Amino acid sequence: MSVLATIAQATETGALTAAELKNNAAASGAGLAYGLAAIGPGIGIGYLVGQSVQAMARQPEAAGTVRTTMFLGIAFTEALALIGFVVFILLKFA
Partner 1 sequence: MDSTLIARDDGPAVEMHIALDLLRRALWVAPVLIVLFGAIWGLPGAASTAYAIVLVVANFLLAAALLSWTARISLSLMMATALFGYLVRLAIIFAAVWIVRDAAWVEIVPLGIAIVVTHLGLLFWEMRYVSATLAFPGLKPATKGS
User: Is residue 94 a contact point for partner 1 (CB under 8 A)?
Assistant: yes
- Min dist. Cβ of residue 57 to partner 1 (A): 6
The span from the CA of 18 to the CA of 30, in Å, is: 18
**Minimum CB distance to partner 1 smaller for 15 or for 75:** 75
Q: Is residue 24 part of the contact set for partner 1 (CB under 8 A)?
A: no
Query: Does 76 participate in binding partner 1 (rule CB under 8 A)?
Result: yes
Segment contacting partner 1 (CB under 8 A): 6-14, 19-27, 75-83?
A: 75-83
From CA 30, how far away is CA 92, in angstroms rounded? 6
Q: How many CB atoms lie within 10 A of CB 70?
A: 19
